[in-house]
Amino acid sequence: MVANSSFKQELLLREYGINVQNIVKYILTLPEKADRTRASYLLVNLMAKLNPSLREVQDSPQKLWNHLFVMSDGKLDIDSPYALSAMEYLNEKPLRMILPTRPPRYKHYGKNVEHLIQKAIEIEDPQEKEAAIIALGKLMKTLYKTYNRDNITDEIIVNNLKELSKGQLTIDLATVEANSLFESNARSNNTNYSNQNNQNNQRKKQQNNQNNQRKK
């Protein structure tokens, strides 16, 4: 089947060059099929060297033969190792791109931060959720500094986080400022803060156990 491949020929011409196209035209003039086949094998090997990035593509040998067939305008009659179809190659459609339907609330945070916030909302464990809030606060503060060189306060980050999560992710501002929780280099402070939380939780559990024993 002969395909109208002028557009694809122009693209492939830019990819392989005018010399390859001239060789294709020469192969079409060879009267013997065996000679055309032998010359086509040599040309495909040359095309592979001219386009080394194609080696990483799945079914790259077959694509090279399809390129050759397209450049011949579907007229190449040879003993090919693959079933060649110019129309099938020409009718390939690119994958549909999923574009965001709504821009991010804050451009300097982007959509990825909003996705992370949604994931943090779904966390049920209180300690894990608090750790996620702190990690988000660090990230948001870093992104804000990249976008705006003015001084950024923890209060802005806490309010933005609360707004983007619709009030579902909150943290005490005084605790954040006292322990520098939103500072990217404050690992030791975060560790101390986590240890304090664990100790407080253990104390609460002990007190609850003691109260339950007294009631019994």
pLDDT tens, 180-213? 888 876 444 444 555 555 555 555 566 666 655 6
The rounded distance, in Å, linking the Cα atoms of 62 and 81 is 8
The rounded distance, in Å, linking the Cα atoms of 134 and 198 is 16
Task: List the one residue out of 49, 42, 53, 47 whose CA is nearest residue 66.
Answer: 47
What is the model's pTM? 0.45
In a shared domain, residues 135 and 161? yes
In a shared domain, residues 76 and 134? no
φ/ψ region of 82 (left if φ > 0, alpha if ψ in -120 to 50, else beta) reads beta
The rounded distance, in Å, linking the Cα atoms of 67 and 69 is 5
Give a yes or no: residue 214 inside a domain. no
Query: Which element (helix H / strand E) includes 156?
Result: helix 154-164
Give a yes or no: residue 39 inside a domain. yes
Average pLDDT over the chain reads 78
**66-117 residue pLDDT tens:** 888 888 878 888 888 888 766 555 555 666 777 767 788 888 888 889 999 9
Domain that holds residue 179: 101-189
In a shared domain, residues 134 and 106? yes
In a shared domain, residues 105 and 185? yes
Answer for the pair 80, 65: CB distance below 8 angstroms, yes or no.
Answer: yes
Domain count of the fold of the chain: 2
In a shared domain, residues 84 and 57? yes
Query: What local confidence, expressed as pLDDT, does residue 24 receive?
Result: 87
* Whether residue 3 has pLDDT greater than 90: no
Give a yes or no: residue 205 inside a domain. no
